[in-house]
Amino acid sequence: AKLKLAIVVGSTRRESINRKLAEALAKLGADVFEPSFVRIDDLPLFNQDLEADRPEPTLRLKREIEAADAILIVTPEHNRSIPAALKNAIDWASRPYGKNSWAGKPVAVTGASGGAVGTAVAQNELRMIMTNLAGVVAGGQVFITFKEDLIDANHEITNEGTRSFLLGFLDGFAKIVGKLAA
Ligand code: FNR
C-alpha cells in the first residue's frame, strides 16, 4: 500500500509558489505516496479560551494529521521565520496538552522563495519546532529558488536537475518512513 502523505502548505495565497511546488511534489511522489492537502486557511487564530469548545476546523486538522503516515511541509519564509498561518496550524494540532497530533509522525520540510537561499532560515526554525513536537524530522534539506517557469500547468517540474533532486528527496524520505513503519 502507498504511504499516506499529509501535505501542509505554509502559504494561504491563491497563486502561492509553495502550493505549486507542493502540487508538483505530490505528482512526483505518486508512486510511493498517496497525497492529501491539509487546509489551514480556515483555522481561527489560536487562543486557549477556544479549547473548551474546539472549533470544527481545528478538529478536522487533527484528524487529518493523525490519519497520515507522514507529513510534508512546504513553506515560504516570512521575515526570516515561518508564516503565522503555518505556526497557527502547528500550534492547534499540538493541543490539547497530552494529545499532540504530530507525535511520532515523520516530517519532511521544504520550501520555495524568489531569493537565493530560498526559505533556509525558516526551514531551520521549522525543523526545530517539528523535532520538538514530532520527534522525527527526516529527509534532506531542499531550498528552492523559484523561477516563473520551474513548474508547468500540469504540475511538472521543467528543470531536469531540479526534478531528479526532488525525486531523490522524496525517495529518501519514503525509505525512512517505510523503516519507521516496519
Ligand atoms: C516575504 N518574502 C520573503 N522571502 C524570503 O526569502 N525571506 C523572507 O524572510 C521573506 N519575508 C517575507 C515576509 C512577508 C510578510 C512576505 C509576504 C513575503 C517573500 C516570499 O518569499 C514571497 O512572497 C513568496 O512568493 C511567498 O511564497 P508563496 O506565498 O508564494 O508560497
Q: What is the mean pLDDT of residues 69-88?
A: 97
Q: Residue 182 pLDDT more than 90? A: no
CA–centroid distance, 106 to ligand 1, in Å, is: 26
Q: Residue 181 pLDDT more than 90? A: no
Q: What is the mean pLDDT of residues 68-97?
A: 97
Q: What is the CB neighbour count within 10 angstroms for residue 10? A: 28
Q: Residue 131 pLDDT more than 80? A: yes
Task: Give, as one character, the DSSP assignment of residue 87.
Answer: H
Q: Residue 118 pLDDT more than 80? A: no
Which structural domains are found in the chain, ordered by start? Answer: 3-181 (3.40.50.360)
Q: What is the mean pLDDT of residues 69-76?
A: 98
Q: Helix 56-67 and helix 84-93: axis angle, to 10°? A: 80
Q: Is the C-beta atom of 111 inside 6 A of ligand 1?
A: no
Residues 6+ apart with CB under 8 A from 105: 65, 68, 70, 71, 134, 136
Testing ligand 1's pocket by substitution, the residue of 113, 125, 151 carrying the most ligand atoms inside 8 A of its CB is 113
Per the CB < 8 A criterion, the answer to whether 109 and 137 are in contact is yes
CA–centroid distance, 77 to ligand 1, in Å, is: 5
Q: With pLDDT > 90 as the criterion, what percentage of the chain qualifies?
A: 93
The reported pLDDT for the residue numbered 123 is: 97
Listed in order, strand segments (DSSP E) in the chain are: 3-9, 33-38, 70-74, 106-113, 136-137, 142-145
Q: Residue with the nearest Cα to atom 2 of ligand 1?
A: 78
Collapse the DSSP code of 65 into the 3-class scheme (helix H, G, I; strand E, B; otherwise coil) and give the result: helix
Q: How far apart are CA 138 and CA 109, in angstroms?
A: 8
Q: Is the C-beta atom of 17 inside 6 A of ligand 1?
A: yes
Q: Residue 146 pLDDT more than 80? A: yes
Testing ligand 1's pocket by substitution, the residue of 73, 77, 147 carrying the most ligand atoms inside 8 A of its CB is 77
- Angle (nearest 5°) at CA 102 between 14 and 17: 20
The reported pLDDT for the residue numbered 40 is: 98
